[in-house]
Amino acid sequence: KRAVAVPVPEDCGGVPEPAALRAAIDRSRAAGRTPASLVLTLPDNPTGTLAPPALVREICEVARAEDLVVVSDEIYRDVLHDPAGGCLSPAEVVPERTVVTTGLSKSLGLGGWRIGAARFPDGDLGRRLRAGVVSAASELWSTLAGPMQHVAAYAFAEPPEVAERLRAAARLHGAVARAVHRIALDAGAVCRPPTGGFYVYPDFGPLRAELAARGVTDSASLARRLLDESGVVVLAGHLLGDAPDALRFKAATSLLYGDERGQAEALTADDPVRLPHIAGQLTRIADAFAELTGRRPVPVSAPDLLEPSR
């Protein structure tokens, strides 16, 4: 089936505008299609934001009224920057029609270890969905290697040492993501404040005229300029389904933590953005944005850079 993109609000990603969702459903049905499911990301990749509970509840009511299955991707749920703030899952609002997916590769940094899980709703719908997934999966995958199965069982049991590691990782991700967010704002971009995961998604649209004078007219040329001129690697927005002419990209802040030793130091640091190897990376990003926009970079040691974004 063909996916239909629906606009998200200005302040968060991962959950569409309710009115825009209704309009998209109406257009699809008028074109002879049958919308059947709604995919949400809580927290969101690529924006690094979390939809507020009120929006989640409203969109779930639309899903219920329109008889949509909700697929809630919550793989970043364990890396909320403020775990005390909580994350309202659609499974708490419309449990009878929600499938929750998750995994260990993001929260525990197990890149390449494709360990995932899905929770299906109780009842006939859930059993049918699960049977369909199992049928397709049996033709696509085999099974996890034995050691990975033991890792998965251990991690999903949430022992105290894993819980502490998750808390430390969330603190680190939040501190560095907020710092990059502040750098983007100081460079003249607009950017949603990150609240989960390890991404920021700045929009340099307000500087379109200045960037055009430097040959930057779309997300592809924006990403290429940052790489060629400053060695800063980002993922152009059009590769994520964004409008090609939008001046947006995804920056993965987890790439700034250094080697294995640097990562271990950052996990236990009270103020990781002041560690020399991370501060140096932040300075490099600030300089890259300054070269891109022609604006003087703000020193990364400025006190306001280290405060949570508002």
Contacts of 298 (CB under 8 A, 6+ apart): 182, 183, 186, 286, 305
Q: In one letter, which amino acid is 99?
A: V
Residue 304 scores a pLDDT above 50: no
Phi-psi region of 49 (alpha: psi -120 to 50; beta: other; left: phi over 0): beta
Whole-number average pLDDT of the chain: 92
Topology of domain 18-156 in CATH is Aspartate Aminotransferase; domain 2 (3.40.640)
Higher pLDDT, 192 or 10: 192
Q: What are phi and psi of 225, to 5 degrees?
A: -65, -45
Domain at 162-306: CATH code: 3.90.1150.10
Asked if 180 and 191 count as a contact pair (C-beta separation under 8 A), the reply is: no
Which residues are registered as beta bridge partners of 59? none
SS3 168: helix
Say which DSSP state 190 is in.
B
Span 176-230, pLDDT tens digits? 999 999 999 999 999 999 999 999 999 999 999 999 999 999 999 999 999 999 9
Asked if 34 and 64 count as a contact pair (C-beta separation under 8 A), the reply is: no
Domain-wise residue ranges, the chain: 18-156, 162-306
Residue 120 scores a pLDDT above 90: yes
Give the confidence band of 300 by pLDDT, cuts at 50, 70, 90: low
Please state the rounded mean pLDDT for residues 17-36. Answer: 96
The whole-number pLDDT of residue 306 equals: 45
For tokens 């404040």, the residue is 193
Please state the rounded mean pLDDT for residues 123-131. Answer: 96
- Nearest Cα residue to 241 out of 206, 284, 201: 201
Contacts of 61 (CB under 8 A, 6+ apart): 93
Higher pLDDT, 302 or 8: 8
Please state the rounded mean pLDDT for residues 107-124. Answer: 89
Residue 309 scores a pLDDT above 70: no
Residue 96 scores a pLDDT above 90: yes
Judging by beta carbons within 10 Å of its beta carbon (0-12, 13-18, 19+), is residue 17 exposed, middle or buried? middle
Top mean pLDDT of 2-6, 106-110, 234-238 is at 234-238
